[in-house]
Amino acid sequence: MSLPIITVIGSLNTDLVTRTPRFPKPGETITSSSFSTGCGGKGANQAVACARSSRSKNAQATVHVKMVGAVGEDSFGDQLLSSLEDDGIDVSSIQKVHGQSTGTANIIVEESTGENQILVISGANHYLQPKMFHELPAPKPALIVLQLEIPVETVVQVVRAAKQQEIPVLLNPAPAVALPGDIYQGLHHLVMNEGEAALLSQVERGDLPLHEHLGRIHDKFYSLGALVVIITLGARGVSWSEVEGEWHHVPAAKVKEVVDTTAAGDTFVGAYAVEIATNVGSVEKAITRANQAAARTVEKEGAQSSIPWRDEVQDSIGNG
């Protein structure tokens, strides 16, 4: 019996990571603690999270993960492809673009908090154009995962094509930019953080208590046609809904020490996608496992290097 397929369409970047005791102020020069390079990009990170969430390091995968994207004809691109293949990811639909550099992300991590600031240079990621996705890559997947580090017009085209072919889509609208309203109609899974949710919904909080503000955001996306709406809240857990006017809260998983939050959101998306694609249980159960995976991620440095394998995740619902 063939494995369910998760197709991740998105960005591949090389991360240039500087760790510093604190963020510099405008115009200020400070001495940092360390510098390193690593594999990243929201698309690639989520593909790695899918692959590792589907199995223990030396075990058989429960899903087939296919990455669709573009890199440059350079050493960064070669390293990205090799790293993805090492995680068992299908890279046959990643194109090498002549005359383009591989995308890069300059990441500053504040050691005292684990928080980060990121500057992205798109490079070859902008090679992915809408005309390439009038028909989606075969074979038909159980789920398509999208982010917004490739051209927005391309994401919109993929969502529309997926609807025509009746393929469920998980959209992680990050970094958040305005999207046409029809993209949410029938969207199976909308996963975003609190800032992205507020920006895209245009629901202002004002003096509203957090729970009331979140309720209005959920209702706004339901009015636009989204089916499952998930808002990650960092240390405050996750707010989610699949019925209009009724939303729920899942507490955050315990974290020993926050070291680096860079890949937490991407790990959550990948782990959640695996649970959905393999039909193992409810949305709440999928969120619980994704929470646990993200908690393990923030305890380590780096992006893809911090993403845990399935056996590293302590599953609080007892389904390891």
What's the rounded Cα separation, in Å, for the pair 51 and 149? Answer: 20
Instruction: Using 70 as the pLDDT threshold, list the residues of the chain that sit under it.
Output: 1, 207, 314-320
Residue 320 has what pLDDT? 46
Residue 1 has what pLDDT? 62
Active site residues: 266
| The residue to which tokens 């993200």 are assigned | 294
- Residue 204 makes CB contacts below 8 A (sequence gap 6+) with 198
Q: Structure pTM?
A: 0.91
Residue 213 has what pLDDT? 86
Q: What share of the chain is helix, strand, coil (3-state, %, to 5)?
A: 35, 25, 40
What is the edge-to-edge ordering of all strands in the sheet holding 246-250? 90-97, 64-72, 5-9, 143-146, 169-171, 189-193, 228-232, 238-243, 246-250
* Both structure tokens of 261: 């939050």
175, 148 in Cβ contact below 8 A? yes
Torsion of CA 234, 69, 156, 204, to 10 degrees: 20
Per the rule left: phi > 0, alpha: psi between -120 and 50, beta: everything else, 312 is: alpha
- Residue 282 makes CB contacts below 8 A (sequence gap 6+) with none
